[in-house]
Amino acid sequence: MKIACLAGDGIGPEIMAEAKKVLAALDLPDIETADADVGGAAYKAHGHPLPPETLALCKASDAILFGAVGDPSCDNLERHLRPEQAILGLRQALTLFANLRPATMFPGLEDMSALRPEVAREIDLLIVRELNGDVYFGEKAIRTLDDGRRQGFDFMSYAEDEVRRIAHVAFRAAQGRDKRLCSVDKANVLETSQLWRDVVIETSAEYPDVELSHMYVDNAAMQLVRNPGQFDVVVTGNLFGDILSDQASMCVGSIGLLASASLGEAQTDFGTFGLYEPIHGSAPDIAGTGKANPMAMILSLAMLLRHSLGLEAQAQQVEAAVAKALEAGVKGADLGGGAGTAEIGDAIVDLL
């Protein structure tokens, strides 16, 4: 199995180094890593933020571990040469259609949440958002009607195969967790959502061990702040997922703790091809100071082990080590603590 490591810009290389320490400490047989340039670093070395050799390495790998892209010194470049284009180009070129964002409350961090501590304490959920379809990609325009008024429109659609493939990802994710899946739609108003619901129900026949429920998106937004503890895995379309995943991340707190996965079609016997990255950016303001919290990067590695390599036990081991480090008071500056990047990585390795 091959993991492509794209560290990128800013704090990317610093946090990637800590994730690699953790991977090495797991001492897994038959895993190799390969590095490639991406983002501003790639522009400076090769003249493009996503060079052909980087894309080729990604295509030849089983999974991608991605740091961050973004470099203020590249702000004046033409849009297609900017570092941020690299991640958009990768998602498109590799058909990464499923975005997974776990939101878990780590013990002792309840004060960082936008919710009351006793409510926040119950959060342990995973949002699975469809990334390649919905109203974002349908025909859209602002046109002028015969009477001179302007009208904007966006065509919302989902084909059944698009719904089925994201449903499979969500059911499989639920099987690896508490085996409860809530599908969020607006089936009382939207035909797109009615088809979504029908296809999710059809797909559920293949996952009899997972308990399926349905919720309208307006209610889901309310329930997410009222009682987030009721959710295990939530699956939803591109538009609703965009909003709900940002809402969920604020319920947990620090940006330095949140990991994400973008999954593609199954390419291996074990699981699904995917790209794994922290939700935060390249943090140029703290790059080179040794203050970056590598936990989101290390938790992204845990997601890689789970979803692309099928190593659920090792994924849980890494997540437990991060939780224990936090409980022991190993906290970065983003959490009001004083631990540096390497110190946090070393503590997690010790706890493994």
**DSSP state string for 81-114:** GSTTHHHHHHHHHTT--EEEEEEEPPTT-GGGSS
Residue 218 among the catalytic residues:
yes
Residue 246 among the catalytic residues:
yes
Indicate the burial class of 255 (C-beta count within 10 angstroms; 0-12, 13-18, 19 or more).
Answer: middle
Task: Select the residue interacting with ligand ATP from 133, 256, 340, 345 (CB under 6 A).
Answer: 256
The answer for residues whose C-beta is within 8 angstroms of residue 247's C-beta and 6 or more apart is: 221, 224, 225
Task: Name the one range near ligand ATP by CB under 6 A: 50-58, 148-156, 176-184, 283-291.
Answer: 283-291
**Please, what is the angle between helix 85-93 and helix 52-59, to 10°?**
40
Q: In 3D, which of 90, 101, 122 has the Cα closest to residue 169?
A: 101
- Binding partner at 321 among ligand ATP, Mg ion, none, C-beta below 5 to 8 Å by kind: none
Number of C-beta neighbours around residue 114 at 10 A: 12
Q: Are 262 and 99 in contact (CB under 8 A)?
A: yes
Query: Cβ of residue 280: shortest distance to ligand ATP, in angstroms?
Result: 3
Query: Cβ of residue 46: shortest distance to ligand ATP, in angstroms?
Result: 21
163-202 footprint of ligand ATP as x/- string (CB under 6 A): ----------------------------------------
Query: Cβ of residue 117: shortest distance to ligand ATP, in angstroms?
Result: 22
Residue 331 among the catalytic residues:
no
Residue 136 among the catalytic residues:
yes
For Mg ion, give the closer residue by CB, 108 or 281: 281
For Mg ion, give the closer residue by CB, 212 or 297: 297
Residue 179 among the catalytic residues:
no
- Binding partner at 292 among Mg ion, ligand ATP, none, C-beta below 5 to 8 Å by kind: ligand ATP
Q: Does 280 bind ligand ATP (CB under 6 A)?
A: yes
- Catalytic choice (75, 111, 198, 246): 246
281-310 footprint of Mg ion as x/- string (CB under 5 A): x-----------------------------
Task: Name the one range near ligand ATP by CB under 6 A: 87-95, 128-136, 304-312, 328-336.
Answer: 328-336
Number of C-beta neighbours around residue 207 at 10 A: 18
Residue closest to Mg ion, measured at CB:
281
Site for ligand ATP in 284-323 (CB under 6 A): 285-286, 292-293, 296
Query: Cβ of residue 74: shortest distance to Mg ion, in angstroms?
Result: 16
Q: Does 334 bind ligand ATP (CB under 6 A)?
A: yes
**Please, what is the angle between helix 295-307 and helix 12-26, to 10°?**
50
- Binding partner at 255 among ligand ATP, Mg ion, none, C-beta below 5 to 8 Å by kind: ligand ATP
Indicate the burial class of 19 (C-beta count within 10 angstroms; 0-12, 13-18, 19 or more).
Answer: buried
How far apart, in Å, do the first and last CA atoms of the chain sit? 22
Beta bridge partners of 151: 143
The answer for residues whose C-beta is within 8 angstroms of residue 350's C-beta and 6 or more apart is: none
| Helical residues (DSSP H) of the chain, grouped into ranges | 12-26, 40-46, 52-59, 85-93, 117-120, 160-175, 191-204, 217-226, 238-252, 295-307, 312-327, 341-351
For ligand ATP, give the closer residue by CB, 87 or 170: 87
Binding residues for substrate: 91, 101, 129, 218
Task: Select the residue interacting with ligand ATP from 40, 49, 67, 70 (CB under 6 A).
Answer: 70
- Catalytic choice (136, 179, 216, 346): 136
| Three-state DSSP class for residue 331 | coil
Which residues would be at the binding site for ligand ATP (CB under 6 A)? 70, 255-256, 280-283, 285-286, 292-293, 296, 332-334
Query: Looking at the annotation, which residues are catalytic?
Result: 136, 186, 218, 242, 246
Which residues would be at the binding site for Mg ion (CB under 5 A)? 281
